[in-house]
Chain A
Amino acid sequence: MNEWRYWFAEQKGTLLALAIFVVMFVIYTSNHPAGLTANVAQTAANKGVLLAFVAMAQTLVVITAGIDLSVGMIFILTNCLASWLVVGTPAETAFGVVVVLLVGLLCGAINGAIVIYGRLQPIVATIATGAVYFGIALLLRPFPGGSVNEDLADALTGRLFGYVPSSLVALLAVIMLVWVPFSRSVYGRAAYAAGSSEVAAYMSGVPLKRGKFMAYTLAGLLAAIGGLFLTFFTYTGEAAYASGNAYTLFSIAAVVLGGVSLFGGRGSAVGAIFGAFAFRTIGDLLFVFDFDPLWQPLFQGVVLLVAVSLGAFALFRVKNRLEWFG
């Protein structure tokens, strides 16, 4: 029993995010004119997966007590790049995918290098690199356009066995191949340690810098996977500034909903994924309730405001006012 208590304490954030998502999704599907069909699930999954990848990317950095305000721009940049490269024969397509992922890795590595070895504050550094990545995206696609290998795109955005959205399978694969090994590795632990207490981590001889660098680099990779999927969904590349910004902001919202501490050291990418799905579902709720789309931004904003304020209720239980100050 005791063991379960510790496990539960550790997973509390993730479980809460899962619960929020399930509730939202049930409300959504039960009010959807078509109910929960394979089609509805597929559309929901595809929309959610995009934000899920970017939120995972954000999680990795947030765990180190950093923040990556360039994830949205890496997402856009890799989308533009993919719209040039992920075309043609299977071999060419494969090559394109690899290059896109490598560019994502590189972007993340640049962020990591500037923050860790250049010792700049992540907020400012990634704002600046975000501008650079967006500039490059704009160079690649001054106007929306391009194309993508549609066979691959359809395969990855369609359904497996008639029911299972393949984008969800892809997401699961990425969790298993990127998140699980990282979080269980020495470097993953170093990233958590760095986020929780950098001084203590240094004193303990943890490979701090490499752990943090790895987190930023893999964040770039995950954002690039998101960019690839965006291309698969839209068949085009577009250097959309507003969209990049929105994804960055939504990724932070998803991370918070997913129980990842913005102060670092606590949380899981899985939680952030549920956070992303929950956030997406919130946006879709308006659709099933037949609201004027004009109200969607306000609704999303209010939900976000309420969601982040809910966490504050724990505050009323705080009996020692010093705990306000962390």
Chain B
Amino acid sequence: MDAASSGAATLFRMEGVSKRYGGVRALEEADLAVHPGRIHAILGENGAGKSTLIKVMSGVVAPDAGTMTLDGRPVTFASPAEANRAGIVCIFQELSLIPDLSVADNIVISDPPKRFGMIDRRAQRRIAEQALARAGASDIHPSALVKDLPLSRRQMVEIAKALARNPRILILDEATSALTASDVKKVFDVLKRLRSEGLALLYISHRMHEIAELADECTVFRNGRKIATYEAGTKSDAEVIELMIGREYHNVFPPKAVPAADAAPMLECRNLNWADRLNDISFTVRAGEVVGLGGLDGQGQRELLLALFGVLRGLGGEMLVDGRPVSLKSPAHASSDKVGMALIPEDRKTEGLMLPMTVRENLAFAAMDKVSRRGVIDRAAESRLIDEMIKLLAIRTAGTDIPVGALSGGNQQKVVIAKWLMRQPRIILLNDPTRGIDVGTKQEIYQLLRRLADAGAAIVFYSTDYDELIGCCDRVLVLYDGAIKRELVGDEITEHALIASALNIGMSEAAEMTGAKP
């Protein structure tokens, strides 16, 4: 069934499009119709084919089969530039900004204004200012270098850059994942305005409440196939999730254990200070506890985790592990058996894994001292430990000697976690471990966290997803501007409370912002 209810003519249509990478079918016989003046949400787990779909649409990859029509005429795109010229512009999940160029340079990059064959800097400046204003980001200076901007500002530049090309179809792939709440609101206003201007918008997101707010129609993909297209608001969240994962969706979060209040503190921080990013942070984590870090993105949560793990220099304050003061100088020190800490880093591709190296090498890498004697690796011991971990975390891999980069995102993340579990850490720090991971793996990770806590580990868990904090944590520390603004315990952890303390505002205002949703 199609979203025929919309009266508008179809702007872009894709029929029977297939794409495979090697033996993997990324997209199979996919159909999609895009209408002007509507926001079309694409839903699906990771690996469902969403990324491939938009890559085909925006000319990054060529499809193996199928047809695409724009205004009823068949089209093919050999490159992103061709798709851009046809009016299809994509804001990619992986940023497409060039770090060493200025904001203005970046905004006009694909088609800079020219005078006498050279780039006209004044005109470029003008275009950039207009585009930034249109994106609601006039606070960004056009001459600033992109690499000097924080992630959320870069994302706004990315949106401005897309708008500067006057697109007819704008594709947003997880475009809000790096944005602060106030930016998300701005972006939503911009998107709604663009919709009223007659643009067609394709919106890919994992965040259900964003889709509920924005979308006019939704299409669900699973395993590279289109499963269903429906008008927004005609299906419940549970139904949608069922469509996405193809089975019923139960009991997302494992039950929380009753925290033993008398358990010994495993990790204690007193007045941590670092540069101007961490201000007087004090907290305690007991064995068996899952403590969440909440707040808007970029309020010092990442820095706090890095500080705990011995990555930051010039850290002020005191840190105690098992009641003994420690001064950690490096991850090597933090992860040593004496301290027993582990950090699941922010970006598994650049910080967690060596993608071209094998599953075995990656798994054993943090625990090489456990499987070697005087620097010589005992392969038998290594294999034993690795097989154990693969079983424990149900890592789906075609063997231990294939590159870890060949695994799916979720399984890669499991490898990152498993490699640390091989050390049997007592304090586990996680930096947004479920970002960009499919629903199924997310659940496994939630279960695992609780199991580890029950087994006596102290867990510090940063997540950008409020649902996760609510579902997983015994306590949540909400950070604002590098300081702990509020500590939420047990039943206090609600979406309202999280948002209110994240924005550092009163509860009533927060209720207004979240609208009808409780």
Interface residues of A (CB under 8 A from B): 2-3, 6-7, 9-10, 181, 184-186, 189, 192-193, 195-197, 199-206, 261, 264-266, 318-322
B99/A205 in contact, CB under 8 A = no
A185/B80 in contact, CB under 8 A = no
Sample of 22 A–B contacts (CB below 8 Å):
A6-B144, A185-B118, A186-B119, A189-B105, A193-B98, A193-B109, A196-B101, A199-B94, A200-B96, A203-B80, A203-B96, A204-B98, A205-B84, A205-B110, A319-B274, A319-B312, A320-B306, A320-B313, A321-B311, A321-B312, A321-B330, A322-B351
A203/B92 in contact, CB under 8 A = yes
B240 at the interface (CB under 8 A from A): no
B145 at the interface (CB under 8 A from A): yes
Could you say which residues of chain B place their CB within 8 Å of the CB of A181? 117-118
Residue in contact with B141 in the complex, picked from A6, A201, A321, CB distance below 8 Å: A6
A319/B80 in contact, CB under 8 A = no
- Interface positions of B from 286 to 312, Cβ below 8 Å from A: 303, 306, 311-312
B312/A203 in contact, CB under 8 A = no
In the bound assembly, the distance between CA atoms of A205 and B84 in angstroms comes to 8
B112 at the interface (CB under 8 A from A): yes
Could you say which residues of chain B place their CB within 8 Å of the CB of A322? 306, 311, 351
Known contacts: A203-B60, A321-B311. The answer to whether A9 contacts B145 by CB under 8 A is yes
- Interface positions of B from 191 to 233, Cβ below 8 Å from A: none
Residue in contact with B96 in the complex, picked from A10, A204, A320, CB distance below 8 Å: A204
In the complex, residue of chain B having the shortest beta-carbon distance to the beta carbon of A2? B141
In the bound assembly, the distance between CA atoms of A200 and B146 in angstroms comes to 12
In whole Å, how far is A315's beta carbon from the nearest beta carbon of chain B? Answer: 10
Could you say which residues of chain B place their CB within 8 Å of the CB of A205? 79-81, 84, 109-110
B314 at the interface (CB under 8 A from A): yes
Could you say which residues of chain A place their CB within 8 Å of the CB of B109? 189, 193, 201, 204-206
Residue in contact with B101 in the complex, picked from A3, A184, A189, A318, CB distance below 8 Å: A189
B110/A206 in contact, CB under 8 A = yes
B275 at the interface (CB under 8 A from A): yes
Interface residues of B (CB under 8 A from A): 60, 79-81, 84, 92, 94-102, 105-106, 109-110, 112, 114, 117-119, 141, 143-145, 161, 274-275, 303, 306, 311-314, 330, 351
B101/A321 in contact, CB under 8 A = no
B141/A192 in contact, CB under 8 A = no
B119/A200 in contact, CB under 8 A = no
B60/A185 in contact, CB under 8 A = no
In the bound assembly, the distance between CA atoms of A203 and B55 in angstroms comes to 10
In whole Å, how far is B472's beta carbon from the nearest beta carbon of chain A? Answer: 26
Could you say which residues of chain A place their CB within 8 Å of the CB of B351? 322
In the bound assembly, the distance between CA atoms of A6 and B148 in angstroms comes to 11
Q: Top 9 closest A-B pairs, CB basis?
A: A205-B81, A203-B96, A265-B100, A196-B100, A6-B143, A184-B118, A205-B110, A193-B98, A196-B98
In the bound assembly, the distance between CA atoms of A237 and B141 in angstroms comes to 53
In the complex, residue of chain A having the shortest beta-carbon distance to the beta carbon of B275? A319
In whole Å, how far is B57's beta carbon from the nearest beta carbon of chain A? Answer: 14
B100/A195 in contact, CB under 8 A = yes
In the complex, residue of chain A having the shortest beta-carbon distance to the beta carbon of B108? A189
A319/B60 in contact, CB under 8 A = no
Residue in contact with A200 in the complex, picked from B98, B274, B312, CB distance below 8 Å: B98
Could you say which residues of chain A place their CB within 8 Å of the CB of B98? 192-193, 196-197, 200-201, 204, 265
In the bound assembly, the distance between CA atoms of A320 and B95 in angstroms comes to 23
In the bound assembly, the distance between CA atoms of A318 and B274 in angstroms comes to 12
Could you say which residues of chain B place their CB within 8 Å of the CB of A200? 95-99
B99/A265 in contact, CB under 8 A = yes
In the bound assembly, the distance between CA atoms of A63 and B314 in angstroms comes to 34
In whole Å, how far is B153's beta carbon from the nearest beta carbon of chain A? Answer: 15
A320/B312 in contact, CB under 8 A = yes
In the bound assembly, the distance between CA atoms of A11 and B314 in angstroms comes to 30
Could you say which residues of chain B place their CB within 8 Å of the CB of A193? 98, 101, 109
In the bound assembly, the distance between CA atoms of A30 and B60 in angstroms comes to 60
In whole Å, how far is A56's beta carbon from the nearest beta carbon of chain B? Answer: 19
In the complex, residue of chain A having the shortest beta-carbon distance to the beta carbon of B310? A321
Known contacts: A203-B96, A321-B312. The answer to whether A189 contacts B119 by CB under 8 A is yes
Could you say which residues of chain A place their CB within 8 Å of the CB of B110? 204-206
Known pairs A185-B118, A196-B100; list 16 more (Cβ under 8 Å): A3-B143, A10-B102, A189-B112, A199-B94, A200-B95, A201-B109, A202-B80, A205-B79, A205-B84, A206-B109, A266-B100, A319-B275, A319-B313, A320-B313, A321-B330, A322-B351
In the bound assembly, the distance between CA atoms of A195 and B351 in angstroms comes to 22
Could you say which residues of chain A place their CB within 8 Å of the CB of B60? 203
In the bound assembly, the distance between CA atoms of A319 and B105 in angstroms comes to 30
In whole Å, how far is B149's beta carbon from the nearest beta carbon of chain A? Answer: 13
In the bound assembly, the distance between CA atoms of A181 and B118 in angstroms comes to 7
In the bound assembly, the distance between CA atoms of A201 and B81 in angstroms comes to 11
Could you say which residues of chain B place their CB within 8 Å of the CB of A9? 145
Could you say which residues of chain A place their CB within 8 Å of the CB of B330? 321
